[in-house]
Chain A
Amino acid sequence: DQQVKQNSPSLSVQEGRISILNCDYTNSMFDYFLWYKKYPAEGPTFLISISSIKDKNEDGRFTVFLNKSAKHLSLHIVPSQPGDSAVYFCAARAPGTYKYIFGTGTRLKVLA
């Protein structure tokens, strides 16, 4: 049972345009959400996070939006750059634990 889903395995975007990566979850009790970026042969790198008490968090070119009623979060990258090409994972934390549940990832390709 996949509690965190990234339904788009891949996404291609032109350089300078917006990239929108989506993530859906099933457990309304998740209290913290994170996005990671992963390059080949490297471990995931933390990008941005959001608490369940907020609906938006911004850090430079990266913004995460949380829609609790829809159990949906999205990561916006503006403007997209070729160096952003990587696999992006969303993750959710089960409340009261240190257990993170990850989605299966979306491969983003930013075309120059």
Chain B
Amino acid sequence: KAGVTQTPRYLIKTRGQQVTLSCSPISGHRSVSWYQQTPGQGLQFLFEYFSETQRNKGNFPGRFSGRQFSNSRSEMNVSTLELGDSALYLCASSSTSPETQYFGPGTRLLVL
């Protein structure tokens, strides 16, 4: 079974631009969660989608948004990028049992 895939793996943007990151979950998994990892902050929960609906949301500004498609693939969008948005963005998928999440390799975003 293929794991969680994320594209692109690396991205460089400038302040004020927007970016869209993509996540393909493990086949059969319907839940996709997104996290931001920055040095010293650990993984910060962004949001979680299940069957195209956002079920949970973290404490991030509205510039961070996401969606999930009918095939469970998910996208995350960040608008009006700021320098502080530079981070590793991880997505994780899980099946109906939420106890175990499987993470993708992440997308490393650098905002200049």
Contacts and interface: CB of A to CB of B under 8 A. Distances in A.
Interface stretch (B12-20, B35-43, B60-68, B70-78): B35-43
A52 to B, nearest CB: 12
A102 interface: yes
Q: How large is the interface on A (under 10, 10 to 19, 20 to 34, 35 or more residues)?
A: 20 to 34
A46 B102 contact: yes
B105 A43 contact: yes
A35 to B, nearest CB: 11
Contacts of A34: 99-101
Contact of A100 (B4, B45, B104): B45
A98 B42 contact: no
A95 B79 CA distance: 31
A104 interface: yes
Interface of B: 4, 31, 33, 35, 40-45, 48, 50, 55-56, 58, 90, 92, 94, 98-106
Interface of A: 6, 32, 34, 36, 41-46, 49, 89, 91, 93, 97-105
